[in-house]
């Protein structure tokens, strides 16, 4: 006779393939996390300078993790990717901040290059009169 209700843990333990399926998902989760972090860093470096990103590293990391969690709230795999992505971004930003700080201490701050102002054109002088 088959019982009508079988606890979830008993169903998992009776089927040996469940564990294998979960282990197959682990490389997928890690790969998707790396892709998510790389895409986010590419986007952030297009929007702001490296120094600005390093200055606000903690805020960027927390906001990224929260937005990734809210964006993938529907599935367990999505939540795992979001949490792993937040962890990878935190590790990357911490290492990058330490490397940037060591580089700045060794070689000094980055020089500020001022761009020359464009010269006024001939027609702008005529319009002013």
Structure confidence by residue, pLDDT tens digits, 23-41: 567 888 899 999 999 999 9
Q: For residue 81, what are the contacts with CB-CB under 8 A and spacing of at least 6?
A: 29, 32, 33, 36, 68, 72
Q: Helices H, strands E: what count in the chain?
A: 6, 0
Nearest residue to 78 (alpha-carbon basis) of 100, 103, 86, 92: 86
Structure confidence by residue, pLDDT tens digits, 56-74: 999 999 999 999 989 888 7
Task: Determine contact, residues 89/65, Cβ cutoff 8 Å.
Answer: yes
pLDDT at 7 over 70: no
Distances (CA, A) of 58 to 44, 45, 102, 124: 14, 16, 18, 47
In whole angstroms, give the CA distance from residue 117 to residue 80: 50
pLDDT of 5 reads 53
pLDDT at 15 over 60: no
Q: For residue 53, what are the contacts with CB-CB under 8 A and spacing of at least 6?
A: 44, 45, 60, 93
pLDDT at 96 over 70: yes
- The confidence band for 126, taking pLDDT boundaries of 50, 70 and 90, is low
**Prediction pTM value:** 0.66
Task: Determine contact, residues 60/53, Cβ cutoff 8 Å.
Answer: yes
Nearest residue to 57 (alpha-carbon basis) of 12, 22, 95: 95
- The confidence band for 6, taking pLDDT boundaries of 50, 70 and 90, is very low
Span 99-108, average pLDDT: 84
Tell me phi and psi for residue 6, to 5 degrees. Answer: -120, 125
């Amino acid at each position: 006779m088959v019982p009508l209700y079988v606890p979830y843990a008993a169903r998992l333990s009776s089927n040996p393939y469940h564990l294998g399926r979960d282990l197959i998902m682990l490389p997928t989760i890690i790969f998707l996390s790396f892709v998510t972090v790389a895409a986010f860093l590419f986007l952030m470096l297009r929007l702001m300078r490296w120094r600005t990103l390093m200055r606000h590293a903690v805020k960027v990391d927390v906001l990224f993790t929260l937005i990734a969690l809210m964006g993938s709230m529907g599935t367990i795999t999505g939540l795992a990717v979001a949490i792993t992505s937040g962890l990878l971004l935190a590790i990357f930003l911490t290492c990058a901040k330490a490397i940037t700080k060591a580089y700045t201490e060794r070689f000094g701050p980055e020089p500020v290059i001022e761009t020359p102002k464009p010269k006024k054109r001939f027609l702008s002088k005529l319009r002013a009169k």
